[in-house]
Amino acid sequence: MKSRASRLAGCLLAAAFAFAGAPALALDPPAGSVVLTVSGKLAHPNQGGDAAFDMAMLEKLPQHSFRTRTPWYKQPRKFTGPLLRDVLAAAGAAGATVRAIALNDYAVDIPFDDTVHHEVIVARLLDDKPVSVRDKGPLFIMYPFDDNPELKNMVHFSRAAWQLKAILLIP
């Protein structure tokens, strides 16, 4: 059974997403190939009980960019894409944990709170070019490591899931 505090936190997060401009209606179905599926408790599913996104749908969300160093690249790289919280808001997502699942079935749990307190993006561009599967794409969850020294640790590095294919919301 959820504690009163966790229920309140969930309600506050849902309200924050609604206030931030989450769509009032369900998402349109994807017109192109699905590159990301969000599953779990959703207010705006568009494909059965899931929210499916094609690349054009992700491009229509507000885009954010930052340059940061990572353990995977020798030089700082520029990452561009929608904020993870905007993707979750578009789906009307609710939960305490975001499980990011990669093409190779690697999975990592990200606290929902990270999406509120950090500018975590679902990168679709690397140095202003689409991210190929060979270079960790087509989608890559990325934290702005250089903007916040508290993020430069193995916990947050492990949450930067590349080759992202799905997100599962866990209550």
HSE-up of 45 (CA within 13 Å, CB side)? 11
DSSP string, 91-139: HTEE-SEEEEEETT--EEEEEHHHHHHS--EEE-EETTEEPPGGGT-S-
pLDDT given at position 16: 45
Two tokens, residue 78: 């520029």
The range of the structural domain enclosing residue 73 comes to: 4-170
pTM (2 decimals)? 0.84
Two tokens, residue 101: 């699942």
Average pLDDT, the chain: 87
pLDDT given at position 80: 98
**Stretches in the chain below the pLDDT threshold 70:** 1-26
Q: pLDDT tens across 8-33, in order? A: 344 444 434 443 444 445 689 999 99
What's the number of domains the chain is made of?
1
Is residue 9 within 8 Å of residue 79, measured between CB atoms? Answer: no
SS3 146: helix
Q: How many degrees, rounded to 5, is the angle at CA 66 between CA 62 and CA 68?
A: 150
Q: Where are the alpha helices (DSSP H) in the chain?
A: 4-19, 55-60, 84-91, 112-117, 154-159
Two tokens, residue 123: 């990168």
Q: Which CATH number does the domain housing residue 132 bear? A: 3.90.420.10
Q: What's the N-to-C CA distance of the chain in angstroms? A: 11
